[in-house]
Amino acid sequence: MRQKKKNKIYRQPLPNRFVHWGVAISIIMLIITGIGQMPVYGRYLIVQPFGTKWLTSYEITLLVHYFFAATLLFFTTYHIVYHVMKKEFDIWPKKGDVKGSYLIIKAMILGQKEPPSEKYLPEQRIAYLYFVISIGLVIVTGVIKVIKNIMGVQPSNGILFWGAQLHNLATVMVILGVVMHLAAFIVKENRKLLPGMFTGYVDEEYVKERHSL
């Protein structure tokens, strides 16, 4: 149950944090094990770091990959159904977000005062769309890959080739997205958002200053 805290604003309810961290852990593990299914760890690592031997086994990385694919599907479906039922679409991009992002980034670089924002900054909404596209593509191609692995299912050579190529492309897109997501915290102004994803609360002062709309 949410408790009122002095000088704090409740920004990220428990379901948001549950989905955020569930998706984050799933994606990190999917990237690690997915790379394990590529010619990488067992091929180029001359010295195997302690505790990573399992990553060179195709069978183990495949099973762990399936496990986290299931958790990613669980959390993404949860996210969609929960917010559609609650009719919450604050993070969905709006008209003028590209220009809005430009103005905010320009203000950050030049040290000027940022234009006021809603709950989410325009660039956060654009970043969300980027993740929808890249995670969406990785999920669709991933599900095709799971179905084709079922015994008795014989997909065409084209499905196998394009399914793999697009899954790999989407993986690269997701990795770039994660890097950009983390790089956002290099900017000092964004760091005040961080406690929101741990405790749910952010400073009231920060909200008044930046999210006044």
Number of other CB atoms surrounding residue 21 within 10 Å: 13
| Closest CB to another protein among residues 7, 154 | 154
- Asked if residue 155 lies in contact with residue 164, where contact means CB atoms within 8 angstroms, the answer is no
Total of chain residues touching another protein, rule CB under 8 A: 44
Contact between 160 and another protein by CB under 8 A: the answer reads yes
| Closest CB to another protein among residues 74, 130 | 74
Residue range at the interface with another protein (CB under 8 A); choices 67-75, 111-119, 121-129, 185-193: 67-75
Of the residues 3, 7, 47, 85, which one makes contact with another protein according to CB under 8 A: 85
Contact between 198 and another protein by CB under 8 A: the answer reads no
Number of other CB atoms surrounding residue 17 within 10 Å: 15
Of the residues 73, 107, 133, 169, which one makes contact with another protein according to CB under 8 A: 73
- Check residue 194 and report its DSSP letter: G
| Separation of alpha carbons 118 and 210, rounded Å | 8
Q: Which of residues 24-53 bind another protein (CB under 8 A)?
A: 37-40, 43
Of the residues 10, 31, 32, 78, which one makes contact with another protein according to CB under 8 A: 78
**Rounded to whole angstroms, what are the CA distances from 194 to 70, 114, 152, 188, 200?**
27, 19, 48, 11, 9
Contact between 161 and another protein by CB under 8 A: the answer reads yes
Q: Which long-range contacts (CB under 8 A, 24 or more apart) does 194-199 make?
A: 196/11, 196/12, 197/12, 197/17, 197/20, 197/21, 198/17
Footprint of another protein on this chain (CB under 8 A)?
Answer: 15, 37-40, 43, 58-59, 62-63, 66-67, 69-71, 73-82, 85-86, 143, 146-152, 154, 157, 160-165, 168
